[in-house]
Structure 1
Amino acid sequence: MATSLSRGIGALSRATGRGDGSVIGGRVALRLDPDLLASLSAGRDVVLVSATNGKTTTTRLTAAALGVLGPVASNTFGANMPAGHVSALAQAGPTPYAVLEVDEHYLPHVTAATKPRVIALLNLSRDQLDRAKEVALLAALWRETLREQRVHVVANADDPMVVWAASVVEDVCWVAAGQRWLDDSWVCPECGGGIRREGSPGGAVWECVTCGLRRPEPHWRLDGDTVVAPDGARHRIELRLPGRVNRANAAIALAVAAHFGVRPTDAVPRLAQIRSVAGRYTLVERDGRAIRLLLAKNPAGWLEAFEMADPTTTLLSINARAPDGFDTSWLYDVDFSPLRDRPVLITGERAFDLGVRLGVNGVPFTHVPSFADGVAATRGRRLEVIANYTAFQQIRAELDRVD
């Protein structure tokens, strides 16, 4: 009954245009049956994907790779708390596999309910300062969750917080997924000593100067456009998704799928078919211009977005609603200097907070009242849009995109 109710309410939400139904159906169903997530997970091989950044894309890539073996249930739209998981599993019906994106705060609860076969851990960084835990506290939460778990963990060897959290598990596959944002991992989570790095950001070898915590030898690594597997085999990745970070996400997906026996040669072509993830990345034509929408929710995400975006007119949109976090002081953690040599437009409910921050970095900008005004103000045929969560959803709705 609870499952049918979840499906029905989700369908009604979509039919009435109130949303994609990925949360409300699960929320109501859990009121009827609080153990529904555990019931719907039973009998499936479950993969959980958690991180501060990149979990939606990695979940999509992992579901595609695992799809070589059969139908996969997944929370495609990024509803990453238990209500979203219930909705996704109920909507999918009985599938042998499930790949679920999990909010980093909810990993303990979802792990207990779903009893996953694999947990993939990508990164930890500061996020939503008005309500999120400090990064070290989240790492400790993950570590306690994983302690004595009989689960295979696929973890990013380049993030000291992730390595410390995952090191309590016996069965860990390490992936050199990179770490461009370093400002949350200069202090060792084990002893409080300093972290010393050698090499370029994103591929650096690191170690604590005081205790024995250090970067583990990765089983999988990224070499340009190629993923190198544990056996040394090289697999070229040709994604339609931009940026090194998405090639790293693909390496994580291949490592997870390999644990289930999926050969990279079979999975790679499926990854290349993905054009967008929940509205991100795909080019959309509007008023004679090609528009690409990128989501950036926190300093690490903005750093990656700047690397993905082409050096052309760029529209930045900032809100500060509940899903975004009300505190915009995180803007001062972002280095906006990469935008100095391109035309920059700003919009959103907190556009002038952003404007002050851009001024500190010496980035000229033009304020536009709305996304439509930004499109009209664009010179040339290309516009890159970088927005935080609710601003992203507003612009996505205006573009009338549902991917």
Structure 2
Amino acid sequence: MAGNSDPLTPRAKLAVTAGKAVAAASRAAGRGSGSVIGGRVALKLDPDLLARLAQNLDCVLVSATNGKTTTTRLIAEALRAAGPVVSNALGANMPAGITSALAGGSDAKFGVIEVDEKYLAGVARDTDPKCIALLNLSRDQLDRAAETRMLAENWREGLAGSKAVVVANADDPLVVWAASSSPNVIWVAAGQMWKDDAWSCPSCGGVMQRPGDDWFCGECGFRRPTPSWALSGDHVIDPHGSAWPIHLQLPGRANKANAASSAAVAAVFGVPPQVALERMYQVQAVAGRYDVVQFEGRDLRLLLAKNPAGWLETFSLIDPPPTPVILSVNARSADGTDTSWLWDVDYTRLTGHPICVIGDRKLDLAVRLEVANQQFQVCEDLDQAVQLCPPGRIEVIANYTAFQDLRRRVGN
């Protein structure tokens, strides 16, 4: 680990070794990266292993419903300007996956850790982070995720009194309410396109007023804090009022917002905005997201959208009609088995695009598109859908396991 003393006890070293062995066996058997099963085994052998691995690292935790993996990657790139970084870059964001990732970073100075929303408070206790980035909260995995206000309450209670600097989105009332229990908060005006989970006040239940970009509760006075960092078009405005250009290879407004939050986090670690934002330009794709791949003579751009907020942002990225769009939705355990969220997505935004529908729940999606008066074809699989599209660019939008299926099929 960074520093002079070795924090690992003999038991912890055994746990790390066993975890790596199990992960390697899992990879050899073709069962994925092995990080989760390896971490589970390691934590069984030493339940305090995550805390031990983190104790010589300056950690930043990143949590949100959307944008965690990308923002984690952007922050990791920025902090490499100041020293070696260990990160769970592939998105295994529960304690087992995080433990596995940290076990692989013996010379690291910084730990940049994506954390599933439900595990944030526990991981914060174990890792004693220097900084926590909170981006947004919205509905996701309806069959098992707690209602969004309950998640915000978990964050609020779990972060109360935390010594960490909390970098939080001032435009999301749920995030603001959750972060307000922390003594040290840096507010970022990162925007909020999806507002349907934030019409009632998280503090008192009153109706939220939303004039322009502002918001406040007319009943209890809970209101948007004054941000010290802001996304403004293609620039990040820092606390001194200086505007720094955002140059990203990743598309869309949501990624500019992720970059703004990442620049604020980097500044906590002493990396100036210009250096941080230049580093972020290196990121071309994140775990396959935004990659353009050649398949059957077409250029497929792979886009991940897991919930209504994500679909809304993704629709704003795609090339204009008549670019064909392939939509793929599954409802396996990692996605959440309840697909009723499809009715929260405004599919009229796809008007004019030829649409092909694939995935385990293609018929659920077909019914939704029918109601939205969209022209579409239901296809057996990706190969058939691509054959129906003309040569050139195709936008492919998929939820979580459907996205993994696509990556395997196109060899990405």
Calculate the TM-score normalised by the size of structure 2.
0.95
Which residue does the alignment assign to 1:228?
237
Which residue does the alignment assign to 1:120?
133
1:134 deviation in Å?
0.5
The one-letter code of the counterpart of 2:217 is C
Which residue does the alignment assign to 2:5?
none
The one-letter code of the counterpart of 2:148 is V
Residue 166 of structure 1 pairs with residue 179 of structure 2: yes
The one-letter code of the counterpart of 1:306 is F
1:153 deviation in Å?
0.2
Which residue does the alignment assign to 1:353?
364
1:125 deviation in Å?
0.5
Corresponding residue pairs, total: 397
Q: Secondary structure at the match of 2:210?
A: strand
Residue 213 of structure 1 pairs with residue 213 of structure 2: no
Q: What percentage of residue pairs aligned between the two structures are identical?
A: 57
Partners of 1:25 and 1:377 lie apart in 2 by 42
Partners of 1:115 and 1:363 lie apart in 2 by 50
Q: Secondary structure at the match of 2:396?
A: strand
The one-letter code of the counterpart of 2:311 is W
1:30 deviation in Å?
1.0
Residue 289 of structure 1 pairs with residue 302 of structure 2: no
1:21 deviation in Å?
2.1
Which residue does the alignment assign to 2:206?
193
Residue 157 of structure 1 pairs with residue 147 of structure 2: no
Which residue does the alignment assign to 2:149?
136
Which has the higher mean CA deviation after the structures are superposed, 330-339 or 18-27? 18-27
8 Å contact kept, 1:50–1:122? yes
Residue 101 of structure 1 pairs with residue 110 of structure 2: no
Which residue does the alignment assign to 2:397?
386
8 Å contact kept, 2:297–2:391? no
Partners of 2:280 and 2:216 lie apart in 1 by 33
CA RMSD of aligned residues (A): 1.0
Q: Secondary structure at the match of 1:87?
A: helix
Which residue does the alignment assign to 1:74?
87
Q: Secondary structure at the match of 1:79?
A: coil
The one-letter code of the counterpart of 1:131 is R
Partners of 1:300 and 1:332 lie apart in 2 by 12
Partners of 2:43 and 2:25 lie apart in 1 by 17
8 Å contact kept, 1:317–1:391? yes
| 1:263-316 superposed Cα distances (whole Å, 9 cap, x missing partner) | 111111210110000110011112221111111111111111111222211100
Which residue does the alignment assign to 1:59?
72
The one-letter code of the counterpart of 1:360 is V
8 Å contact kept, 1:22–1:77? no
**Alignment match of 2:103 (pick from 83, 90, 99):** 90
- Structure 1 residues 8-19: aligned runs within 5 Å: 8-19=21-32
Which residue does the alignment assign to 1:340?
351
Partners of 2:284 and 2:37 lie apart in 1 by 27
Which residue does the alignment assign to 1:331?
342
1:20 deviation in Å?
1.6
Partners of 1:92 and 1:129 lie apart in 2 by 35
8 Å contact kept, 1:346–1:366? yes
8 Å contact kept, 1:191–1:211? yes
| 1:218-270 superposed Cα distances (whole Å, 9 cap, x missing partner) | 11111111111111111111111010000000011110000111011111121
- Unmatched tracts of structure 1, length 5 or more: none
Which residue does the alignment assign to 1:249?
258
Partners of 1:73 and 1:127 lie apart in 2 by 28
Q: Secondary structure at the match of 1:242?
A: coil
Residue 264 of structure 1 pairs with residue 273 of structure 2: yes
Partners of 1:309 and 1:322 lie apart in 2 by 28
1:377 deviation in Å?
1.5
Which has the higher mean CA deviation after the structures are superposed, 52-61 or 16-25? 16-25
